[in-house]
Amino acid sequence: MIMPDGIHSQFREHSIAEFFKKNRQMLGFSGKIRSLTTIVHEYATNSLDACEEAGILPEISVQLEQLDNGHIRLTVEDNGPGLPKKLVGKALGQMLAGTKFNRYMQQRGQQGIGASGAGMFAQITTGKPVKFKTGTGDGKAFSADLKIDFKTNKPLLENEQDAETAYRGLRIQAEFAEVKYDRGDYSPLEYLKRTALANPHAQILFVEPTGERTLFPRASEVIPEKPREIQPHPLGITTNDLVEFAHASQERKLSSFFVNTFSRFSYGKVDELKAALPEISYEMPPDELRWEDAEKLVNAFRKLRWVSPETDALRPIGPPQIEKALKNIYNAEFMAVAERKPKVFRGGIPFMVEAALAYGGNAGRRKADGATEGDILRFANRVPLLFDAGGCAITDAVKGIDWRRYDIKDFENEPVAVFVNFVSVHVPYTGAGKQAISDEEEIVEEIRLAVMDAARDMQRYLHGKVREASREAKKKAILKYVAQLAQDLPELAGKGKPKEIEKRLLQMIENKYSQLTLEEAEEEAANGNGVKEEKPEGGNGDEEKEE
């Protein structure tokens, strides 16, 4: 809503908190159902990130209560590492103030807006603070009520209390209006179900306003490897980045700044650079680097050969876990999982795509008329993306595939589910609400290829299914005439008994149509007997293009 004092406010600088208060839909606060799911999403995401970074198997509980005044009260609690007293206010009540902002590391949250945004929404809809309690497990716990000063984007704490307890974790309680609970496709229930699907190492308890409890049990005791912060790759930086990094650097020489700041930058590379660009002094202090020279350097970087960016900081879910998870929810006739090698976008940001297909069983989305349509389950760093499907690189990529090539006549009308997890140290979301991935060309193409990898497997299955159906049809057609033929044959031949002939005919038909024909068997063999072909990197099979 807008202040009525247009004139007085002329050219006051507004805070990021004021901006998102006015444009709350940009954070996902539009519509009562979506708003509630957004809140759950932000707090659950934070909890999972905190546990992962601390190497803790997450136990998270999310409880919703419907209050008499129409408000909904949310309580989220985790067994994570907790937050130290001096940081917790900023982490929960100051936008763009988190540790997350500047780290080049695979995380779910990455902007430092989410939790503060949820607190903001509590405050503007109910006027109530967010109550939190946190303990770091070393005997020190701290609780307080938190509000945000929107004008300054600063946290305001009240009722601060220290406690001596071994409590470890974070508990948040807040009250919201302009939200509504339902159990539909966009509800917190569906969100948490998908979160459990992509995070089999987490245990998640959800309590609905009715009191109904759903436990998503831990399906794997393996703690995902801790995420690791990586250095930027020389191919991924812009001139502006280079100037900023250089001016902020404490190194004494440009050469050591390069080696210590960037990934894959050795002194050998500095020598190559000197040869390519001798007019620059590599002994100068980095904070004296001028734009013109930085631009030359960036252009020179692009001409050198580099070892690819570090990709071992990427933490995919992994094919066995994906398969297990899909099996659980879909009980599908067929599944195929494809995991591709890491790639980079914007020249230096590593990412990878995991894709899977499920066909038949409960796969696909039920439509209002009872029919089933193709469904796309989108994830980014294991976070389910429920909203803004239309503007997402994953949707673009999946819809752009010519599914008829894979024996899916019409994606909109088949029992098929496509699962995609985009994994990266930086997810280029289209908006602060983090529900869709920007359609950068390299990303869309890589998702397409991953889904097509899985689709090729599925096609072999479907193709077999089609052949089987056609054999069945022929067999049935012939069977119709068996009885008549068994009657007529003895008459024509002048010998044999109808019963006996019928039996032998049936046997012949059974033999013919229950085995592969020679042709079919050869085809099957050529397809590799269901063994997945490993296409060489960059080979023709990889670049397969539609139309």
Contact with its own copies (CB under 8 A) among 47, 106, 107, 111: 111
87 contacts its own copies (rule: CB under 8 A): yes
DSSP state of 429: B
DSSP string, 344-383: EETTTEEEEEEEEEEESTT-SEEPTTS-EE-EEEEEETTE
Q: Which range of residues in 192-200, 372-380, 387-395, 463-471 is near its own copies by CB under 8 A?
A: 387-395
Contact with its own copies (CB under 8 A) among 333, 439, 502, 524: 439
**Footprint (CB under 8 A) of its own copies, residues 250-289:** 261-262
Write down the least CB distance from residue 482 to its own copies, Å. 46
Site size toward its own copies (CB under 8 A) is 79
Write down the least CB distance from residue 493 to its own copies, Å. 57
94 contacts its own copies (rule: CB under 8 A): yes
370 contacts its own copies (rule: CB under 8 A): no
Q: Which range of residues in 136-144, 225-233, 300-308, 466-474 is near its own copies by CB under 8 A?
A: 225-233
105 contacts its own copies (rule: CB under 8 A): yes
Write down the least CB distance from residue 452 to its own copies, Å. 21
Q: Which range of residues in 89-97, 268-276, 317-325, 375-383 is near its own copies by CB under 8 A?
A: 89-97
CB 191 within 8 A of CB 40: yes
Element containing residue 141 per DSSP (H, E):
strand 140-149
231 contacts its own copies (rule: CB under 8 A): yes
**CB count, 10 Å around CB of 485?**
15
Q: Residues 351, 544, 393, 331: what is their CA dihedral angle, to the nearest 10 degrees?
A: -90
**CB count, 10 Å around CB of 463?**
15
243 contacts its own copies (rule: CB under 8 A): yes
CA distance 343 to 448: 13
463 contacts its own copies (rule: CB under 8 A): no
CB 382 within 8 A of CB 393: no
Write down the least CB distance from residue 338 to its own copies, Å. 25
545 contacts its own copies (rule: CB under 8 A): no
CB 232 within 8 A of CB 240: no
103 contacts its own copies (rule: CB under 8 A): yes
Contact with its own copies (CB under 8 A) among 16, 300, 479, 506: 16
78-87 in b/e form (b: 16+ CB < 10 A) is bbbbbbebee
Indicate the residue among 319 and 400 with the shorter CB distance to its own copies: 400
402 contacts its own copies (rule: CB under 8 A): no
Helix (H, G, I), strand (E, B) or coil at 72: strand
CA distance 329 to 175: 32
Q: What are phi and psi of 533, to 5 degrees?
A: -75, 135
214 contacts its own copies (rule: CB under 8 A): no
414 contacts its own copies (rule: CB under 8 A): no
Residue tagged 């899977």 (tokens): 356
**Footprint (CB under 8 A) of its own copies, residues 305-364:** none
Question: Which residues, 6 or more positions from 387, have their beta carbon under 8 angstroms from its beta carbon?
Answer: 28, 34, 37, 186, 433, 435, 436
Side-chain half-sphere of 66: how many Cα atoms within 13 Å?
10
CA distance 299 to 306: 14
Helix (H, G, I), strand (E, B) or coil at 279: coil
Contact with its own copies (CB under 8 A) among 58, 81, 93, 112: 112
379 contacts its own copies (rule: CB under 8 A): no
Indicate the residue among 22 and 264 with the shorter CB distance to its own copies: 22
191 contacts its own copies (rule: CB under 8 A): no
Contact with its own copies (CB under 8 A) among 413, 430, 489, 490: 430
99 contacts its own copies (rule: CB under 8 A): yes
Q: Which range of residues in 24-32, 134-142, 499-507, 510-518 is near its own copies by CB under 8 A?
A: 24-32
Contact with its own copies (CB under 8 A) among 14, 405, 463, 532: 14
Write down the least CB distance from residue 249 to its own copies, Å. 9
What would the two tokens of residue 118 be?
A: 């949820």
Q: Which range of residues in 35-43, 47-55, 237-245, 453-461 is near its own copies by CB under 8 A?
A: 237-245
CB 323 within 8 A of CB 354: no
Write down the least CB distance from residue 111 to its own copies, Å. 7
85 contacts its own copies (rule: CB under 8 A): no
What would the two tokens of residue 479 be?
A: 């069977």
DSSP state of 186: T
CA distance 463 to 239: 52
290-306 in b/e form (b: 16+ CB < 10 A) is eeebbebbbebbeeeeb
426 contacts its own copies (rule: CB under 8 A): yes
Write down the least CB distance from residue 431 to its own copies, Å. 4
Indicate the residue among 196 and 242 with the shorter CB distance to its own copies: 242
CB 149 within 8 A of CB 183: no
Indicate the residue among 330 and 429 with the shorter CB distance to its own copies: 429
Q: Which range of residues in 203-211, 427-435, 483-491, 530-538 is near its own copies by CB under 8 A?
A: 427-435
> Which region holds residue 354: left if phi is over 0, alpha if psi is between -120 and 50, else beta?
beta
Write down the least CB distance from residue 219 to its own copies, Å. 32
431 contacts its own copies (rule: CB under 8 A): yes
What would the two tokens of residue 154 be?
A: 């600063």
Side-chain half-sphere of 300: how many Cα atoms within 13 Å?
19
160 contacts its own copies (rule: CB under 8 A): no
Contact with its own copies (CB under 8 A) among 58, 81, 93, 98: 98
